[in-house]
Amino acid sequence: MPKKWKVKLRSDQRKKLLRIVRAGQHKSREILYAHILLKAAKGWADANIADAFATSTKTVQRTRQCFVEAGLHAALTEEPRPGQPRKLTAEQEILLIALACSTPPQGYQRWTVRLLTSEAIARKIVPEIVPETARQILKKTNSSPGKWKVGATPTSPPTSLRA
């Protein structure tokens, strides 16, 4: 059965792929895709290529297709992956940090992460938030709720508390 995505390499493309494979200075996925394209150009079957490089036949097919449709550069690189969507907007993060820097509620000496999250929900800064998310946001800014004084502070104590 003839391949739908036939890989035909020009000599300059073949040289580039061989440099990638031999140098070992590229990302592991780029090296894998280079191997796949070299073997596909030699006429290897997808299953044999997949077995030789411990990958799936779907990866081999996608690499072939990407090369034929978009070229060598597109076949060797990947689009950035989107990752986990942000839990809070930048504005919500700023308001949460400002809340941590404010005076804690009556009856509390300092902010705790749990108190901060419950207060942020009560003030409708965020519809919902878990303490770990609040902790990570404060950690990004080197803030800590109520370490040396009320609110978020830098990591070193005030001069009045130093020995």
Q: Could you tell me the residue ranges of all domains in the chain?
A: 11-76, 90-155
Question: What are 46-100's pLDDT values in tens digits?
Answer: 999 999 999 999 999 999 999 999 999 999 998 887 888 888 999 999 999 999 9
What would the pLDDT profile of 96-138 be if each residue is shown by its tens digit?
Answer: 999 999 999 999 999 999 999 999 999 999 999 999 999 999 9
Please report how the helices 90-101 and 131-140 are oriented relative to each other, as an axis angle in degrees rounded to 10. Answer: 90
Nearest-angstrom CA–CA distance, 123 and 6: 61
Cα(10)–Cα(77) distance, integer angstroms: 19
pLDDT tens readout for residues 10-56: 999 999 999 999 997 999 999 999 999 999 999 999 999 999 999 99
**Residue 39: partners with Cβ closer than 8 Å, 6 or more residues away:** 48, 49, 52
pLDDT of residue 159: 58
Per-residue confidence (pLDDT) for residue 74, from 0 to 100: 92
